[in-house]
Structure 1
Amino acid sequence: MTESDNAVTDSILDRLGSRVATLSYDDLTESGRRLFRVALVDTLGVALAGSGFPGAVITRAALHASLGESLILGSPDRVDVLDAAMLNAIAAHALDYDDGNPIMGGHPSTLLIPAVLAVGEELGASATEVIAAYAAGYEVIIRLSRGINSAHYEKGWHPTSTIGVFGVAAAAARLLGLDAKQCTVALAIAASMASGVKANFGTMVKSLHVGHAVRDGLLCARLAAGGFTANRLALEARQGFLDVYNGAGSYELQAIVADRGALEINTGFNPIKAYPCCASTHSAIGAAMDIRRTHGVRGQEVETVRIVVDKNRMPHTDRPHLQEALSGKFSLQYVVARALLEGRVVLEHFENDAHLDPSVQALMGRIEVSAAPPGEVPNSFAANVSVTVGTGETFHSRVDRPALGGDGTTADPPHLWEKFADCAGRVLAASDVTALASALDSFPEYEDVRDFVQLAQATPARQTTLAGSAT
């Protein structure tokens, strides 16, 4: 297809735009509403914990954000909706502790929750309208992901931003009440806003990808609402998004628009993280923990460690040398060393100069990471870990699935609320954490989401203390 085919009907974006415009809260099943509930609890917690992240502080200073209706989470300040959504998304992704999705190969909620809360505040939207907007964004994200992954991910794009910008545009369009044609235009604009390469993983830029996608996605919807124009064939046209970002023959149009019999949110699964680092490292952490626990192995006794993972995990997680603590979130060597030495992997391990710990550096030098031969690991996220100690004994463990919370069947994933309390408690007073947790439990009942969001603001004195500790 070419741009001259613009007269044809029913483009990919037309179909997606129609789904976005007609989706309502009543279309969500109990499972879909539970997915949103877990996403809201988890994302709000990690966003509060990440609100003092230096990258967010630097970005805010660079923006010179103007006063507005939307809260910068974990602060007393309200700024323009685009800036608030961007800063909150950076905070939510800063710690790499946010939920993920195996189809997307990225993090849907770190995009959608900051977007729908910021726009919801600006509009005074109800909680059910916010939930429907999240569902609309989720629908577009997962459908696009079905059509372009895993080729898109393997090429080096960061799907959280490159696919996420479409989802944010859809969510904002739904909240703004745009009609089907306007929703299509918003998505078509988003095709020219997608950006983010995996080469910048392990730096502040990774979370900037997400903030940028959220800000641009909201802008796409606003432009469409104002009468902006765009090519309805921006996905499938020659030199459109699919050919440029994936390449001919590496995507499936039908997978994007297929009748699946249910909304994606109603059958979706967004596991939450047990460790504040890349999900591609979690199975190796689990295997190292198992060896430590089962055989009593301690890091100081270890002579060598061999980690075997799927080849698709290697490009972004084989990092034997770290330039900053953030890079440790993408280093199998670093997180496995921490697991063997301490029996835990926690937020403090990725802050300040934690990566320079002499005992960790020494053990990292004895850890080898390699790609699994065909058939050695059962799936892309599995890991084999072998640890040889000073006596010559070697211990083995394999973990087939990352240590992620939630199986899609229970009301709440294990440790969801403990994780929330730990994260939110880094910013809010204990009494405020309790109040916010109670509000999260009854979120759908809010007639005006502004009444809910105000519970996530820190006092000026508290914010000043946090800002000082983040520098």
Structure 2
Amino acid sequence: MKTNPLEVFGSWIADSPDNWPSDAREWAHREFIDTVAVMVPGAVEPVSRKIFETVAPWGAGPCTVFGQSTRLAAPWAAMVNGTIAHVLDFDDNFDPPKAHPSAVLCPALMALAQQEKLSGAACIDAYIVGLQILGRIGQGLNPTHRNRGWHATATVGVMGATAACARLMKLDAQQCARALSIATSMSAGFMSQFGTEMKPVHAGLAAKGGIMAASMARAGVTAGTETLDGRTGMNRLMVGPDYEELRDTITHIEHGQNLRYELESVGEPLLITEHKFRVKRFPTCGAIHRAMDGVLDLRAEHGFSADDVTSVDLHMPRVHFNNVMYTDPREPLEAKFSAEYAVGCVLARGDCTLADFTPEAIMRDDVRSLFPIIHRHPVDKLEGEFPTQVRLTMRDGRVLEKTIAMPQGSKSAPFTDEQYWAKFEACCAGVIPPEDIDSLRQSLEKLPSLPDMGELMHNAEFTAAEFTAAEFTSAGAA
């Protein structure tokens, strides 16, 4: 049996037959829908324009950038579109690597498929393959990798994007292994960028890196053979000098994260159907979604308003609080990583939508006045060991409690097809005209049978410059 993870993963990428079960293909299709949905409003965000203007002079090409009429070379289109997909923090999460996979995989595959004139079915296949490798490598590094501050969407995301692109390009096993090795040299990203414009750029860099690594491997660029598991391999460097001790003494394993690369059965179970996704109900960091669900559940059950509440106590794993670190957010991006703003928003407004993340909305007193009554109680346990507990103390003396183990949109409570399309329609409203929404939806609906992904991408060439964030908000998009 091969023991080098590069060789094992490379062989699996190249040689696995495209005979995935129907539910795997359906999940992949749904995540393309979800990703395109959030990319439409993401295209009007300031950082999306900044990244486009940065890379546009570096190379025109055949590939669409969402919201732009100018096409770029595939790596640059993937970089901009990856940023666009992640900027609202409304894109999906995937538990095995603790990363946002689709904001990386979809932009990379859409750009490469448009360049090569490849089909929607080929993209579905490559997505499933890329997600599996992203998950397997993530399981080999986590939970420690992410808990110590690495942004897995960037570090592990580029590995998944590379696997997906190598599959789409039909590289052989040796080329696929080399592509993964090349990608380790592009693996970077710290959680210290959360709440800034660089955080979504991480997804763009990972998408770009996937196309570049696979293309370099096809061109014959050589790379090391011990870059995943070696004395200075990805696991030892990106977990820490105590990697082996942690690996050998781990007792509680969540989402298959056991600090070991799975080499005996790379494709079993198929992670896309085993774990599914955490599709976002709210455009905020997913670490606070359980608490937001709990507050809304209590509101629905008891019919109170924010004025009726004197204290909100949040008991959550410390690692979740680490992700929502801004206690007094001053910018919309900071508000997306604030437990106080997210919980205060659903408590005061009964929901949390894209319209709640403008400079004006985050400074309104209806939410900010609640910050002093929202109390953090971190617990030193992983999320699977400790569900989020929400405790509300009311003015009349009642104490209302709710415990949430998994948020809405996750494996335990997945979105229906109708909810996916409702999110799509809501994201597009006010950004593009109704007839363009219909065209984009039609091409998305038939994505698995599209002979050329260019048809879908053509419908993404709306002119985002015609819309400002203020106009978007006033149009009622949520």
Give the TM-score of the pair, scaled to structure 1. 0.91
One-letter amino acid of the structure 2 residue matched with residue 455 of structure 1: N
Counterparts of 1:267 and 1:378 in 2: how far apart (Å)? 18
Q: Report the more deviating stretch, 33-42 or 322-331.
A: 322-331
- Partner of residue 91, structure 2: 98
Contact 2:275 2:411 in 1 (8 A): no
Question: What SS does the aligned partner of 1:365 have?
Answer: helix
Offset at 1:424? Answer: 2.4
Contact 1:407 1:413 in 2 (8 A): no
Contact 2:443 2:455 in 1 (8 A): no
Counterparts of 1:131 and 1:392 in 2: how far apart (Å)? 54
Alignment of 1:413-428 (within 5 A): 413=417, 415-428=419-432
1:148 aligns with 2:155: no
- Partner of residue 255, structure 2: none
**Of residues 440, 446, 452 in structure 1, which corresponds to 2:456?**
452
**Of residues 8, 17, 35 in structure 1, which corresponds to 2:27?**
35
1:384 aligns with 2:389: yes
Offset at 1:301? Answer: 2.9
**Of residues 367, 372, 388 in structure 1, which corresponds to 2:374?**
367
- Partner of residue 437, structure 2: 433
1:258 aligns with 2:264: yes
Structure 2 portions without partners, runs of 5+:
248-257, 474-478
**Of residues 391, 409, 412 in structure 2, which corresponds to 1:404?**
409
**Of residues 287, 290, 298 in structure 2, which corresponds to 1:291?**
298
| Cα offsets for 1:2-22 (capped at 9, x unmatched) | xxxxxx965111111111112
Counterparts of 1:307 and 1:467 in 2: how far apart (Å)? 32
Alignment coverage as a number of residue pairs = 458
Offset at 1:108? Answer: 0.9
Identical-pair percentage: 28
Cα 1:232/1:27, change in 2 over 3 Å: farther
One-letter amino acid of the structure 2 residue matched with residue 326 of structure 1: L
Counterparts of 1:470 and 1:402 in 2: how far apart (Å)? 27
Cα 1:313/1:57, change in 2 over 3 Å: same
Contact 1:161 1:213 in 2 (8 A): yes
Offset at 1:452? Answer: 2.4
Counterparts of 1:409 and 1:361 in 2: how far apart (Å)? 31
Offset at 1:399? Answer: 1.7
Counterparts of 2:375 and 2:39 in 1: how far apart (Å)? 34
- Partner of residue 346, structure 2: 339
Offset at 1:74? Answer: 2.7
Cα 1:253/1:426, change in 2 over 3 Å: same
Cα 1:427/1:76, change in 2 over 3 Å: farther
| Cα offsets for 1:32-54 (capped at 9, x unmatched) | 10111111100011111201111
Offset at 1:150? Answer: 0.8
Give the TM-score of the pair, scaled to structure 2. 0.90
Cα 1:378/1:36, change in 2 over 3 Å: closer
Offset at 1:327? Answer: 1.2
1:357 aligns with 2:364: yes
Contact 1:139 1:264 in 2 (8 A): yes
Counterparts of 2:121 and 2:395 in 1: how far apart (Å)? 59
Offset at 1:373? Answer: 6.6
1:56 aligns with 2:58: no
Counterparts of 2:237 and 2:472 in 1: how far apart (Å)? 40
Counterparts of 2:132 and 2:323 in 1: how far apart (Å)? 28
Cα 1:293/1:171, change in 2 over 3 Å: same
Offset at 1:309? Answer: 0.4
- Partner of residue 3, structure 1: none
- Partner of residue 73, structure 1: 66
Contact 2:287 2:321 in 1 (8 A): no
Counterparts of 2:211 and 2:137 in 1: how far apart (Å)? 18
Cα 1:161/1:381, change in 2 over 3 Å: farther
Counterparts of 1:382 and 1:414 in 2: how far apart (Å)? 28
Q: Report the more deviating stretch, 322-331 or 227-236.
A: 322-331
- Partner of residue 276, structure 1: 283
Offset at 1:298? Answer: 1.3
| Cα offsets for 1:257-308 (capped at 9, x unmatched) | 1315354335440131111111111111111112222222211232221111
Offset at 1:179? Answer: 1.3
Contact 1:28 1:266 in 2 (8 A): no
| Cα offsets for 1:53-111 (capped at 9, x unmatched) | 11111112222343211100133221111111011111111111111111121111111
Counterparts of 2:167 and 2:452 in 1: how far apart (Å)? 17
Offset at 1:416? Answer: 0.7
1:114 aligns with 2:107: yes
1:237 aligns with 2:243: no
Question: What SS does the aligned partner of 1:256 have?
Answer: coil
Counterparts of 1:68 and 1:468 in 2: how far apart (Å)? 32
Offset at 1:381? Answer: 7.2
Question: What SS does the aligned partner of 2:43 have?
Answer: coil
Counterparts of 1:445 and 1:49 in 2: how far apart (Å)? 26
Structure 1 stretches of at least 4 aligned residues deviating more than 6 Å after TM superposition: none
One-letter amino acid of the structure 1 residue matched with residue 291 of structure 2: A
Q: Report the more deviating stretch, 101-110 or 252-261.
A: 252-261
| Cα offsets for 1:293-348 (capped at 9, x unmatched) | 22222112322211110122121224321131211112111111111111101111
Cα 1:408/1:15, change in 2 over 3 Å: farther
One-letter amino acid of the structure 1 residue matched with residue 343 of structure 2: V
Alignment of 1:193-212 (within 5 A): 193-212=186-205
- Partner of residue 466, structure 2: 464
Counterparts of 2:425 and 2:461 in 1: how far apart (Å)? 15
Contact 1:406 1:414 in 2 (8 A): no
Contact 1:31 1:267 in 2 (8 A): no
1:187 aligns with 2:180: yes
Counterparts of 2:418 and 2:262 in 1: how far apart (Å)? 32
Question: What SS does the aligned partner of 2:62 have?
Answer: strand
Offset at 1:151? Answer: 1.2
